[in-house]
Structure 1
């Protein structure tokens, strides 16, 4: 319903009122070059979204072996964890727009500063969430579950995931920065590789250690640390080199809406 509302607002403001950009339905024609660019940007993200859902189903099947309580704890824990990743997604969207504007102007110094400040905000947010998870994990779960054993298991879940909160925010924030320069392959590739790595890693921790269920959650947290370390390093390398395009083309610009596993992110792209 919310997406329908946003679409209707878009139609009214852009097509009807023509508040920002003059659009006419008669101008909507197939363009081979633009369509090719859209697919080149969208396919990596779409592939990651599909594979993420597939990997999540396998992880859920592994958790199900430990009973209904384990399933409930992971489901509720995921919703609690949304406090950090949904908030960081908002900052990533803002950073994507900011980065895209300055990428179009060829101002890499502002891109660097914007990325640094956003990471700083993300660090503060991540540390705050980590502290809450570590200190009040059991109290948080007591709101949703009345059984003491379930509350204890939920607290352990939050303890394990608390380790990766800052890194998860780094990953999501850096996705916004990459989207701003029209590069969707690095975050998608990183996401596919390390999210897929959760399955064999979780299986190893389950089968050859005493961690059991905690090994599955540990694999999720550990791979988030990997993603939140590698992707920012990748983007810093891009910044150090002055970007993959020091002098962006001055040709027409257009906005592409690409779906991600969290929400639609605005990506500013150019030909």
Structure 2
């Protein structure tokens, strides 16, 4: 049996816990590596002993998130549709979706580079760059924007490869880039004396190598789904399917970027130390976030395939197992962040003010983290099932509907504490919305299952 046939058989027939482990662990490793090299980047910049330089990383982070949001929009949207098409045995449309997504996202990456370079300084001001941070932010961000194409392509290709069940290759691609990034950081920053520019250049070079590795997967015909100009078939149907799910992911990341910018702006009155501490805190938190995101990247093709194949019992089992595993992990991470907050922040800065604000912020943002797995499993479920409206609502709740008003209102009432606890309030409100939608989707799945069973009898 071919590897491609084995992957399809695995998604539809193998025991749910086993297939989830097979798909989730490589994705978790890849996302963890991503989180770690983001942290290492911050750690190396911290060695410059310049709080303004660390602040520049915080300012640039929202730009990097926006670039990634475009890649995730195409990748997650196409991945969801491809998984369902493979579950329906519609290989031809899966190939058309893959090729159309690839070439469209490539064009989008080029466009983002042009726009980003033209409007770089105004964008940095919008995201909260102070006069002292701006020179460092420009040096760092300009290079990152030049590598936009690689960022977008990596996000897109990784998601599509996972959609056909080959999470291992995706893991290797991301790990390869991250490992190269970590190796190049000290060489460019210190050995070559490039400082913060070196950190950005290391990131872009590493991502370009990941892009080559991912494209090789398709060129070498290792893939089940195909990328070719002959399959490039832009159509309303394909773009509608991509966007109804992809827009939810884009909205989540774009709003997260906007929210980070607003947090930076709200932190500005309290100095560069406050701006730097916010950036450090959310990068530390990304370890927990990225593990859950990685797990759900393994969960999505399982959910999408079995929903498309109308195997409802397998789908429900996948949901149950995923909720259990992600909740246990979220609780463990909360305990680590709560008890060791100060020690963790000390790794990235020796500035006493940064450590004080950062430790307090880390504890605040993890108050409701035990239920983060619950939030994200259902957000991923709606994406997998093609439920665009619900996926969009959950995606924009945590980082938009609830967080943005919190950032705008709470600092006026509670000053810096308002900035620190804004994410906490947003998480609490998002949990309530998730619970309501979870009840509705289970009722809907039960109805579909009963209808399917009735049709089989008749």
Aligned to 2:403: 198
CA contact (8 A) 1:167 1:229 kept: no
SS of the residue corresponding to residue 42 of structure 1 reads helix
The whole-number CA distance in structure 2 between the counterparts of 1:5 and 1:175 is: 31
Report the RMSD for the aligned CA atoms in angstroms: 2.7
Aligned to 1:217: 420
CA contact (8 A) 1:59 1:199 kept: no
CA displacement at 1:156 relative to structure 2: 1.0
Structure 2 residue 323 is matched with structure 1 residue 119:
yes
* Change over 3 Å in CA distance of 1:212–1:22 after alignment to 2: closer
The whole-number CA distance in structure 1 between the counterparts of 2:443 and 2:243 is: 28
SS of the residue corresponding to residue 242 of structure 1 reads helix
Could you list the per-position Cα deviations for residues 204-249 of structure 1 after superposition, in whole angstroms to 9, with x for gaps in the alignment?
33223xx32122221211212322342244134212221685579x
* Change over 3 Å in CA distance of 1:89–1:45 after alignment to 2: closer
* Change over 3 Å in CA distance of 1:243–1:64 after alignment to 2: farther
TM-score between the two structures when normalised by the length of structure 1 = 0.78
CA contact (8 A) 1:122 1:169 kept: yes
Aligned to 1:30: 234
Moved more, 171-180 or 96-105: 171-180
The whole-number CA distance in structure 1 between the counterparts of 2:372 and 2:237 is: 35
SS of the residue corresponding to residue 418 of structure 2 reads helix
The whole-number CA distance in structure 1 between the counterparts of 2:406 and 2:266 is: 12
Question: Which structure has more helix as a fraction of its residues?
Answer: 2
Match of 2:430 among 224, 227, 241: 227
Moved more, 3-12 or 190-199: 3-12
* Change over 3 Å in CA distance of 1:83–1:51 after alignment to 2: closer
Aligned to 1:241: 444
* Change over 3 Å in CA distance of 1:133–1:36 after alignment to 2: closer
CA contact (8 A) 2:267 2:419 kept: yes
SS of the residue corresponding to residue 270 of structure 2 reads coil
The whole-number CA distance in structure 2 between the counterparts of 1:18 and 1:155 is: 46
CA displacement at 1:102 relative to structure 2: 0.9
Structure 2 residue 295 is matched with structure 1 residue 91:
yes
The whole-number CA distance in structure 1 between the counterparts of 2:337 and 2:211 is: 37
The whole-number CA distance in structure 2 between the counterparts of 1:202 and 1:38 is: 31
CA contact (8 A) 1:169 1:228 kept: no
Aligned to 2:52: none
The whole-number CA distance in structure 2 between the counterparts of 1:41 and 1:70 is: 36
Match of 1:172 among 373, 376, 379: 376
Could you list the per-position Cα deviations for residues 46-70 of structure 1 after superposition, in whole angstroms to 9, with x for gaps in the alignment?
3443333223212210111211111
The whole-number CA distance in structure 1 between the counterparts of 2:412 and 2:226 is: 61
CA displacement at 1:90 relative to structure 2: 0.6
* Change over 3 Å in CA distance of 1:163–1:236 after alignment to 2: same
TM-score between the two structures when normalised by the length of structure 2 = 0.49
The whole-number CA distance in structure 1 between the counterparts of 2:354 and 2:256 is: 27
Aligned to 1:256: none
The whole-number CA distance in structure 2 between the counterparts of 1:13 and 1:107 is: 30
CA displacement at 1:5 relative to structure 2: 5.2
CA contact (8 A) 2:288 2:330 kept: yes
Question: Which structure has more strand as a fraction of its residues?
Answer: 1
* Change over 3 Å in CA distance of 1:39–1:138 after alignment to 2: closer
Could you list the per-position Cα deviations for residues 93-117 of structure 1 after superposition, in whole angstroms to 9, with x for gaps in the alignment?
1111110111012122222221121
CA contact (8 A) 1:157 1:217 kept: yes
Within-5 A mapping of 1:5-84: 8-9=212-213, 11-17=215-221, 19-21=223-225, 24-84=228-288
The whole-number CA distance in structure 2 between the counterparts of 1:42 and 1:143 is: 36
* Change over 3 Å in CA distance of 1:26–1:238 after alignment to 2: same
